[in-house]
Structure 1
Amino acid sequence: MTSNPLVDFLASYGPQASSNNLYDEFVVEAAKRTGCAALEIDQPLTAELIGLLQSATPKCVILTGTAGDGKTYTARKVAEALSGEARVWSNTQKIYTLPKPLPSGRSALFIKDLSEINEAEKNRIFPDIMAALTGETTDVFVICVNDGHLLKFFRDRGEAELHDRFAEMLRSDAREDPNGHFWLVNMSRQSHRHLVDQIVDGVADHDGWAGCEGCPALADKENPCPIRCNRDILLRNDPASMRARLKDMIRMAAADGRHLSIRQLILLTVNILLGDAKASSTLLTCRKAKMRSRNNVYDLTNPFANAFGVNLTERERRQYGAFTVLSEYQVGFETNNVFDHGLLWGDDSLPDCPWYGERIFAPIRNMYRGDPSRHSADFQRAIVDQRRRLFFSLDPQSPKVRINPRRSPWNLSVFKHGSDYIAMVEGLLGAGMPQQIARQLLRGLNRMMTGEMTITDDRLWITAPSGVYLGSEIPLLVQHAGHPRTGGISTMSFLVSGNHRVGPSDNGRPPVIRVATRGREDRAVDLALRPTLVECLLRIADGALPASFSSECQREVERFQLQVATEVRRAFELDGATPMPKEVRMLDGNLQEHAIAIMAEGDAW
């Protein structure tokens, strides 16, 4: 069996202590040492920044975001393109000056990481940075820095105006300086869903795989190399593939505020490919792969388990955001009668896998059938892995799922309505909000806000949260929202946030329900439709009780109620009127408003 240097090179990107070349400054050195080409991630932002700096009026650029989001990598690619050099700075170089002027005649300086520069050097270069950011000089800076250090840098030097401007731009996801002197790009405001294909292809379709030619394991059909098996699974790119589910999970995680950096996505991909669950091992080498195939222990190299870091200890898993985030989906631990019955007794309609399906599951299942008490623990672990395999191997939009929603792979996770969430986001970014999902969300919200199991789903009834007004012991109708009606003052709409960008720059933020009163969009109230809240609302619409969920979702809805109630009362006050409280009643499942009999029309409230 030959040893492919690409395997060792990719392992350096994986979850192990020696993974230094996950940091951009080590990538070039590692590639040179192994003779393998470094992974290339084509950020659309790179071309955009090159165009900006080559224009007649270039601007300063500040690249911010969390560690691993490609700030230094992007800056290096821009510098290479502008200089025409293959390598523009060394690992020890903190500031790089472009050797030739930009087309506009201006000088360009690149700060690889502002936080790595000592205080004396920061103080020395600070006046030059200030002059460039305020348009007092023609120099152009490209600065890489995380957002916290960026704000501290200017706060410590008493520049309150710029500090506050940066803080507001970061809050609102604005990119262009109002005064036109710089761009502020938060690279963490992306779901990175559109980069998954690039990352997976960069790993699984790397030119270095040609080094496997001549290896006997490549021709072994009975006991193939597990690395090559996992590679084939990663290369699939259809709705019923591992890649498709990963993209959905990454998008949903970003919308729920759990951003995964590019560095973590590379680490995740490498672990899926090379993960090895044998004790004292973490990642496969060519030698280990030969041993696993020879001993027919493919359960140790299962990519569907590797996606959740099963090859690592619990302590090791907690060190990596990729496994922490994906573990929150609880894939494999959710029982489902349709799938469990099919796995236990056989169902030809369920997909199999020649390496990680019946081949590794059938022996454990047979032992469990023979002696359940003795083999229960092994069987439970095995069926978790099989549920995970089905989660990554089924198309949630297939005809079988449309006929029987219980066959959706999302039923094998805590997000039973995961496919509805994806459909909602894609609809709002394309043809429009799917009406069936909209109606379910409205029904769930109405049930949460009124405490009634109503079937009303054509408009939103905003009521004052319990306890908001002293002496109020019944729900008080604030106003209808949604379909305009005679005398109505509020309207409701589903939309993506104003700074949401479609395509490669998708910031991953969740859609919102927006309620505007008297057409005042500047004072509109938004309810962010995070995946967790959407799951809560859709389950309540299906008949679950709100108490079944965490109080976090209830607090979000109550805060939304209070904010809308405040805006509606304010609108009445501007008109010189006083709104009358009205009781909300349910008749035949539908919500209706009724005047409170004890109060006469026109009495003050």
Structure 2
Amino acid sequence: MHKNPIVDFIRTYGPSASSDSIYDEHVVSSSERLGVSPIEVESGRLDDLVLNFQSPNPKNVILTGTAGDGKTWHCRRIFEKLGGDLTIWQSKHGMLETTLPGSGIRLVIVKDLSQFEGNDLQREILQGMIGSLLGRDQATVYLVAANDGQLLRFWRKYSSEGPDVDRIGQHIRTMLETGSERCDDLHLEMHNLSRQRHDVLFSQLVDAVHNHDGWTLCNDCPLLAGEKCAIRRNRAIIGTDGATRQRLTDLIRIAAANDQHLPMRHLLLLIANIVLGVSGKKTPMMTCKTAHELADNDTRQLSNPFDNALGLNLGLKESMGYLCFSILHNAGIGEETNNEIDGLLIEGQPSDLYDQYVKNDELHGANLFENKRSSYRRGEIEDYSEFQQDLETQRRRLFFTLPDTDEDDEIDPWKLTVFKYGGMYVSFWDGLNEGRMDEHIRSRLVIGLNRSYSGMMCEDSATLYLTGPAANAQSRVGRVLDYDMPVGSSKRDLVMFDFEPGDPFNRPKMTVRFRRSHGDSFIELASAPLQPILFEYLLRVREGSLPSSFSRQCFEELRQFRLRILAGLEANDLIDIDHLKDLRIVKLGESGRLQPEELGVTESI
């Protein structure tokens, strides 16, 4: 039987008790043991860090983020690119030193700051970093990997030992909070790897796995010649630039925009499970032997890449223990649907789509579902719950295989998730980053905002009306209007609202800008991130539904945004909240538009 060591190497990244390559410290030893080169990706950040240490006056570097973000991986790759010997890297646990080429400066690399908790070396690291960060010791620089919390605890622990420690700790805390990479008072660059584009990293890792030179050892395998290898099929499905890869990339991007970041470690785990996952076996990850057994027994469908993406080969309970699977499971893929998509699966209509996306997939489509579909239509299904599971399996597959559609097409793959406007969010986000505004989407979002703030089924999209939240009681005469402003730039107004790119996490944001006079430029007064969950909420409100599953969270975010706007307007003397003579209300007119009216309150003296 043919066996390829690349399969065993990728397997070590997957969700199994024996998996240890998810920690960078074990990557090199695993690759050497199996004779396989490590899975590596290049990045502009890595190149910039190397250039820093190659410069005549290098700065200290702290790599922070959450567990699995690739901090130790970056340290190793920097060490390699600076000419370091991997044998030395592996032999040094926790910390090592090298001399920088060109400058001759001593570089101290701390692989993981947490390893020195309770160790006498921790104080030595502290004293060395103080001197280097404050520029007193110009013969030594540090490269330190530390999680956010570990880094803050480290400086807080020693804050009573003098003003230098306290000052450095305050600067580092500020840098973490603001996302700043540099501080004028410290000889330091700090990079938060949690803020990198995880969707871009995912695509790079997919390419690294798909294009690994180890796959050439499959060339003599009889399964490859007969196109019967489940491993190679799964590799091709995720590796090519098709719908499956794009959906996964978009899901990872949406999750990150909702503050659910998938670090490098978990992205590799996800990729490994998609390629090698299998159901109904003792172990959930295939070997070459497993692939041969599936081919011989004609059971290749047991390795379903679309189910593997959610960790369903592990079972629901176990899969929820892994961050990547819990995030993708929470997207509700296949659990949501509509009549048109279920009509496609059950009735086979439209027939052209059925032929292309169900019938043509002989392994995971028609062969698995056709007989059950026919039995259901004849009323011969005995166990409806089993049929429901089969239907959800097909919906999941369609989510990963259907093409992108127009935003209002009912056979839209995103209708199969809780983010029914997920594709629209990504499109809107891309447009903002490219300097394009989708006027249609903006109008729908503003209508959702006005309905949320006013509690009325209005159709206003050119003006944003700030009233109390919709949960407040509404008087018989109307709602009190705090402020109204045009949407988009206006030559005649001093305050305006719009959607813009570029909050600290590169998400779209809602922004209110103002200027002192008509000849001045607009400056930001208040902003709030337009996360996917809020985007979804606003568009569902606009279509007339109130999604209770996340309405309270979104409602509170909108309330806080409104309060920040009003506080900013008052601080800049643009409104006087206590001036009753300017009090206005809004009513819903017959045209469906909000109508502001002066209340005519007379202040007593």
Distance change >3 Å, CA 296–CA 367, structure 1 → 2: farther
Structure 1 residue 85: Cα displacement: 3.4
Tell me what 1:530 maps to.
531
Tell me what 1:433 maps to.
437
- Once superposed, what is the RMSD of the aligned Cα atoms? 2.6
CA distance in 2, matches of 1:107, 1:28: 25
Tell me what 2:62 maps to.
62
Q: Secondary structure at the match of 2:512?
A: strand
CA distance in 1, matches of 2:237, 2:244: 7
Tell me what 2:562 maps to.
561
Tell me what 1:97 maps to.
97
Tell me what 2:386 maps to.
378
Contact 1:59 1:140 in 2 (8 A): yes
Contact 2:515 2:523 in 1 (8 A): no
Does residue 493 of the first structure (1) align with residue 498 of the second (2)?
A: yes
Number of aligned residue pairs: give it.
Answer: 585
Does residue 14 of the first structure (1) align with residue 14 of the second (2)?
A: yes
Structure 1 residue 489: Cα displacement: 4.2
Distance change >3 Å, CA 487–CA 475, structure 1 → 2: farther
Tell me what 1:481 maps to.
485
CA distance in 1, matches of 2:477, 2:314: 53
Task: Give 1:215's aligned amino acid.
Answer: C
CA distance in 2, matches of 1:475, 1:568: 20
Task: Give 1:188's aligned amino acid.
Answer: S
Q: TM-score, normalised by structure 2?
A: 0.91
Does residue 418 of the first structure (1) align with residue 412 of the second (2)?
A: no
From 362, 384, 387, the counterpart of 2:395: 387
Distance change >3 Å, CA 77–CA 583, structure 1 → 2: same
Task: Give 1:195's aligned amino acid.
Answer: L
Q: Secondary structure at the match of 2:21?
A: helix
Q: Secondary structure at the match of 2:465?
A: strand
Contact 1:12 1:21 in 2 (8 A): yes
The C-alpha deviation readout for 1:416-447, integer Å capped at 9, x for no partner, is 11111001110111032211111111010000
Contact 1:465 1:475 in 2 (8 A): no
Does residue 363 of the first structure (1) align with residue 368 of the second (2)?
A: no
Q: Secondary structure at the match of 2:241?
A: coil
Tell me what 1:123 maps to.
123
The C-alpha deviation readout for 1:177-224, integer Å capped at 9, x for no partner, is 132510110000123111222211222222111222222222225xx1
Higher relative contact order (CA 8 A, sep 6+): 1
Tell me what 1:513 maps to.
510
CA distance in 1, matches of 2:87, 2:328: 36
CA distance in 2, matches of 1:340, 1:71: 45
Contact 1:27 1:38 in 2 (8 A): yes
Q: Secondary structure at the match of 1:39?
A: coil
Structure 1 residue 304: Cα displacement: 0.5
Question: In percent, how many aligned pairs have the same letter?
Answer: 34
Structure 1 residue 91: Cα displacement: 5.3
From 216, 221, 245, the counterpart of 1:215: 221
Tell me what 1:444 maps to.
448
Tell me what 2:110 maps to.
111
Tell me what 2:162 maps to.
none
Structure 1 residue 315: Cα displacement: 2.9
CA distance in 1, matches of 2:229, 2:33: 25
Structure 1 residue 42: Cα displacement: 1.4
Tell me what 2:288 maps to.
286
Tell me what 1:463 maps to.
467
Contact 1:512 1:529 in 2 (8 A): yes
CA distance in 2, matches of 1:331, 1:470: 39
5+ residue gaps, structure 1: 500-506
The C-alpha deviation readout for 1:458-496, integer Å capped at 9, x for no partner, is 121112347999999953212222346798542212212
CA distance in 1, matches of 2:576, 2:586: 24
Larger deviation, residues 362-371 vs 298-307: 362-371
Q: Secondary structure at the match of 1:476?
A: strand
Structure 1 residue 497: Cα displacement: 2.9
CA distance in 1, matches of 2:56, 2:274: 46
From 583, 593, 600, the counterpart of 1:590: 593
Distance change >3 Å, CA 415–CA 564, structure 1 → 2: same
Does residue 312 of the first structure (1) align with residue 314 of the second (2)?
A: yes
Tell me what 1:36 maps to.
36
Distance change >3 Å, CA 32–CA 547, structure 1 → 2: closer
CA distance in 1, matches of 2:399, 2:272: 20
Tell me what 1:148 maps to.
149
Structure 1 residue 522: Cα displacement: 7.2
Contact 2:449 2:538 in 1 (8 A): yes
Q: Secondary structure at the match of 2:497?
A: strand
CA distance in 1, matches of 2:413, 2:232: 25
Structure 1 residue 358: Cα displacement: 1.1
Distance change >3 Å, CA 308–CA 101, structure 1 → 2: closer
CA distance in 2, matches of 1:355, 1:180: 59
Contact 2:346 2:377 in 1 (8 A): no
Q: Secondary structure at the match of 2:387?
A: helix
From 256, 273, 276, the counterpart of 2:275: 273
From 246, 249, 252, the counterpart of 1:250: 252
Task: Give 1:591's aligned amino acid.
Answer: L
Q: TM-score, normalised by structure 1?
A: 0.91
Alignment of 1:345-356 (within 5 A): 345-346=347-348, 347-350=351-354, 351=357, 352-356=360-364
Tell me what 1:503 maps to.
none
Alignment of 1:294-309 (within 5 A): 294-309=296-311
Task: Give 1:354's aligned amino acid.
Answer: E
Tell me what 1:193 maps to.
199
Larger deviation, residues 284-293 vs 3-12: 284-293
The C-alpha deviation readout for 1:378-434, integer Å capped at 9, x for no partner, is 32222211111111112214xxx46x6112111111111111100111011103221
Distance change >3 Å, CA 522–CA 172, structure 1 → 2: farther
Larger deviation, residues 138-147 vs 538-547: 538-547
CA distance in 1, matches of 2:585, 2:578: 19
CA distance in 1, matches of 2:491, 2:437: 25
CA distance in 2, matches of 1:531, 1:333: 19
Contact 2:587 2:596 in 1 (8 A): yes
CA distance in 2, matches of 1:234, 1:455: 43
Contact 1:395 1:409 in 2 (8 A): yes
Q: Secondary structure at the match of 2:513?
A: strand
Distance change >3 Å, CA 485–CA 425, structure 1 → 2: closer
Q: Secondary structure at the match of 1:315?
A: helix
Task: Give 1:569's aligned amino acid.
Answer: E
Larger deviation, residues 26-35 vs 381-390: 381-390
Contact 2:503 2:529 in 1 (8 A): no
Distance change >3 Å, CA 343–CA 253, structure 1 → 2: same
CA distance in 2, matches of 1:104, 1:92: 23
From 165, 169, 193, the counterpart of 2:171: 165
Distance change >3 Å, CA 438–CA 37, structure 1 → 2: same
Q: Secondary structure at the match of 1:66?
A: coil
Task: Give 2:74's aligned amino acid.
Answer: T
Contact 1:443 1:456 in 2 (8 A): yes
Structure 1 residue 174: Cα displacement: 0.8
Tell me what 1:572 maps to.
573
Structure 1 residue 577: Cα displacement: 8.9
Contact 1:331 1:413 in 2 (8 A): yes
The C-alpha deviation readout for 1:112-159, integer Å capped at 9, x for no partner, is 111112431101221111111111111110000001010110100013
5+ residue gaps, structure 2: 160-164
Structure 1 residue 279: Cα displacement: 4.7
The C-alpha deviation readout for 1:224-266, integer Å capped at 9, x for no partner, is 121121112112203xx21111111111100001000011111
Contact 2:477 2:587 in 1 (8 A): no
